[in-house]
Amino acid sequence: MNEIQKKSVKKEPFLPLMFRYLGRKLKRLGKEMANHKVSYLFIAPFCILFIVFYLVPVISSICLSFTYFNVLETPRFVGWQNYINLFFADEVFLTAVKNTFLFAVITGPVGYFLALFIAWMINDLKPKVRAVMTLIFYAPTISGQAYVIWKFIFSSDSYGLANGWLMKLGFLYEPILWFEDGTYIAPILIIVVLWMSMGTGFLSFIAGLQNVDRALYEAGYVDGVTNRFQELWYITLPSMKPQLLFGAVMTITSSFGIHDQLAALAGFPSVDYAAHTVVSHLIDYGTIRFEMGYASAIATLLFAVMILCNKAVQFLLRKVGN
């Protein structure tokens, strides 16, 4: 009897067995999900909105990028044509890519380390002073369009601060057209972007630094840590890795998304496309020319680059302090 039973189990074909196993698993999952009905109710409002306004747009952007779509007619499938045009037929796009990388590669890492460096120095101050300094560095980020003041500083006439003072001191005889001259646009804009780079990540660093366990510093001192830089590398940074990661994500996202400040200061489109970024190109095709398929291809590329960069930086940050 026993033997017969064994045989029947052994002889059973693989597929039904797998189905039965999966079925049992699904049943258990379903039961567990039913037990947590309340949890799903809790997350439902957010998740539905998130799906409609974040997930669906990303997916449809990828799908639309393979079509020709001008809003009026239904999208027509064109395969890789949009991407081919972007890289081989659209010189402005290549300029935009070059500019975006120029801005992102300079302002991203510099802004990130500047934020970390300033947060680290602020951390040693007394709480009241620390609060004031935090406000000063964070203020440009939250002040709405306060960056338009740079338009006054680098105004093209002699009433602008930079021109006026340089002329008064005798360095210049006639005003420089700062935002109309391709050579000056990028450097000035980089300064402006760096001025605004103390964002959410900066606050996260300040908080992370304040919460490093004081006992670790004492222990480090006993173990022969002799100066503040060793302390930073061996004790502080490893204990605030999660904040470093968060700051990196925020920085990458914002540095690839640069457009608003540039357009407000250098004009849109700017002279020689010197301040034209990928986002500018996207806005140009998406909201002015209404070539939605083409714009979606740009958005998809931007999306891919942002995610890839984030993954790469996360990988690098794992090595901090090791």
Partner 1 sequence: MALWKKKHKKRVKPNHSKGGDIASIVILLIMGTFTALPLILSFSNALKPTEELFVFPPRFFVRDPSLDNFHDVFVLMGQSWVTFSRYIFNTVFITVFGTAGHLVIASLCAYALAKHKFPGRNLVFGVIVTALMFSGHVTAIPNYLIMTKLGWLDNYLALIVPALAKPLGLFLMKQFMEQIPDTLLEAARIDGSREFAVFWKIAMPQVKPAWLTLIIFCFQDLWNMQGANYIYSEELKTLPYALSQISAGGIARAGATAAVTVIMMIVPIVIFIISQSNIIETMASSGIKE
The nearer residue to partner 1, 64 or 185, going by C-beta atoms, is 64
Q: List the x/- string, 27-46, binding to partner 1 by CB under 8 A.
A: --x--xx--x-xxx-xx-xx
Q: Does 250 contact partner 1 by CB under 8 A?
A: yes
Which positions ≥6 away from 309 have C-beta within 8 Å? 252, 256
Please choose, out of 15-23, 55-63, 84-92, 96-104, the segment that lies near partner 1 by the rule CB under 8 A: 55-63
| Residue from 19, 27, 94, 218 in contact with partner 1 (CB under 8 A) | 218
Dist CA 241 CA 320 (whole Å):
8
Bond preceding residue 57 cis, omega within 30 of 0: no
Structural tokens at position 257: 């998304």
Q: Does 266 contact partner 1 by CB under 8 A?
A: no
Question: In a 10 Å sphere around its CB, with 0-12 CB exposed, 13-18 middle and 19+ buried, how is residue 163 labelled?
Answer: buried
Which positions ≥6 away from 298 have C-beta within 8 Å? 86, 93, 278, 281, 282, 285
Residue by residue, DSSP assigns 294-322 as HHHHHHHHHHHHHHHHHHHHHHHHTTTT-
Which positions ≥6 away from 310 have C-beta within 8 Å? 248, 249, 252, 253
Q: Does 269 contact partner 1 by CB under 8 A?
A: no
Dist CA 264 CA 271 (whole Å):
13
The nearer residue to partner 1, 2 or 145, going by C-beta atoms, is 145
Dist CA 107 CA 199 (whole Å):
13
Please choose, out of 8-16, 50-58, 77-85, 102-110, the segment that lies near partner 1 by the rule CB under 8 A: 50-58
Distance of closest approach, residue 47 Cβ to partner 1, in angstroms: 7
The nearer residue to partner 1, 10 or 108, going by C-beta atoms, is 108
Nearest-5° angle of CA 259, CA 261, CA 56?
35
Distance of closest approach, residue 282 Cβ to partner 1, in angstroms: 6
Q: List the x/- string, 112-141, binding to partner 1 by CB under 8 A.
A: ------x--xx-xx-----x-xxxxxxxx-
| Residue from 100, 103, 160, 266 in contact with partner 1 (CB under 8 A) | 160
By CB under 8 A, what part of segment 229-248 binds partner 1?
Answer: 230-231, 240-246
Q: Does 9 contact partner 1 by CB under 8 A?
A: no
Q: Does 146 contact partner 1 by CB under 8 A?
A: yes
The nearer residue to partner 1, 163 or 270, going by C-beta atoms, is 163
| Residue from 60, 88, 183, 312 in contact with partner 1 (CB under 8 A) | 60
Nearest by Cα to 264 from 106, 152, 161: 152
Q: Does 64 contact partner 1 by CB under 8 A?
A: yes
Structural tokens at position 148: 């338009």
Distance of closest approach, residue 295 Cβ to partner 1, in angstroms: 5
Q: How far is CA 263 from CA 163, 249, 279, in A?
A: 21, 24, 11
Distance of closest approach, residue 3 Cβ to partner 1, in angstroms: 40
CA atoms within 13 A on the CB side of 98: 12
Q: Does 101 contact partner 1 by CB under 8 A?
A: no
Structural tokens at position 259: 């457009």
Q: Does 145 contact partner 1 by CB under 8 A?
A: yes
Q: Which helix (H) or strand (E) holds 68?
A: strand 67-68
Q: Does 108 contact partner 1 by CB under 8 A?
A: no
Q: How many residues bind partner 1 (CB under 8 A)?
A: 109
